[in-house]
Amino acid sequence: MKSYSESYKEAGVDITAGYKAVQLMKTHIQRTMTAGALSDIGGFGGLFELDLTGMTHPILVSGTDGVGTKLKLAFLQNKHDTVGIDCVAMCVNDIICCGAKPLYFLDYIAAGKNKPEKIAQIVCGVAEGCVQSGAALIGGETAEMPGFYPEDEYDLAGFAVGVVDKSKVIDNKKMKEGDVILALPSSGVHSNGFSLVRKVFDVENSDLSRYYDELGCTLGEALLTPTKIYVKPVLSLCEQVEVKGISHITGGGFYENIPRSIPAGLGAKIEKSAVKVLPIFDLIQKAGNIPERDMFNTFNMGVGMSIVVAEEDAEKAMGILRSAGEEPFCIGEITASGEGVTLW
């Protein structure tokens, strides 16, 4: 007998829509399957078989996050196939800061109304993020919550699990004065600072389809550009060079995130002129009349990740990253005078 409840439907929850959504998302999920993924979508738990070949002391590393109020931009533009990339990126970019390889991902979508086609679009983005990071999408949850969320809105969150050999965990213990700080470019605002972005542009009442020459696209397209995923180039680097510290530049910008990978007693000296600030940040600063320090304390400013290596390894590291498709550049060095970040 097929599951169906007229009473539940009258209360605002259509369980048959959930079944349709699952069917629509299956093709996207299949793209993410890796050798360790054992479960099929629709079960009660996601199964994953660990391959610990070559590891002597495996450590699991996990990370969880959401997309935040960037989702408002997706609602306003009725575009839902990229925010899933953001969700995956925010999680996997965190766990690679420890040197961990992502294994699998689970998502959670809560919506005011389950519209199967829209849910499938969201999951399409999640699947793309998983493909980019080499993680299997082994499960998730879609909750229809009428009266809690507006009918056309939803929230999206998830978590990733990765693994690293204990001897290869990046823990900053070998960091010292004179080490070089490399930067990997961001793709845009990523998924942080959107409460300020929305205020600056008054997005609910502005024309998101307005084209800006300096952006090379519309404002809406620029703001909805998905967060860049750094998994493959960073792991490739870790295999060939001793990486002493990695920071994922998210909420809190330079001042909050770079110090998280630096041990007590050391600081980071960042050369502002070396930071390749993206046009979207110039536009935000000008439109909102935002002080420079607040910009660097809120946004990534064009730097998605910072990586610390020994000075003698810097050129080799940049060569490896270039071979992996990145465009790294040097933004500063580790100092012994003062903790935290100094921009000059």
pLDDT tens for the 344 residues of the chain, in order: 467 677 667 677 777 888 788 889 999 999 999 999 987 665 788 999 999 999 999 999 999 999 999 999 999 999 999 999 999 999 999 999 999 999 999 999 999 999 999 999 999 999 999 999 999 999 999 999 999 999 999 999 999 999 999 999 999 999 999 999 999 999 999 999 999 999 999 999 999 999 999 999 999 999 999 999 999 999 999 999 999 999 999 999 999 999 999 999 999 999 999 999 999 999 999 999 999 999 999 999 999 999 999 999 999 999 999 999 999 999 999 999 778 999 99
CA distance 330 to 307: 9
E-only strand ranges, 39-145: 58-66, 101-111, 136-144
Q: What single-letter DSSP state applies at residue 37?
A: B
pTM for this predicted structure? 0.95
Q: CA-CA distances (angstroms) from residue 33 to 22, 84, 128, 228, 244?
A: 16, 17, 12, 21, 32
- Backbone CA torsion sign across 303, 94, 89, 251: negative
| Count of H-run helices and E-run strands, the chain | 12, 12
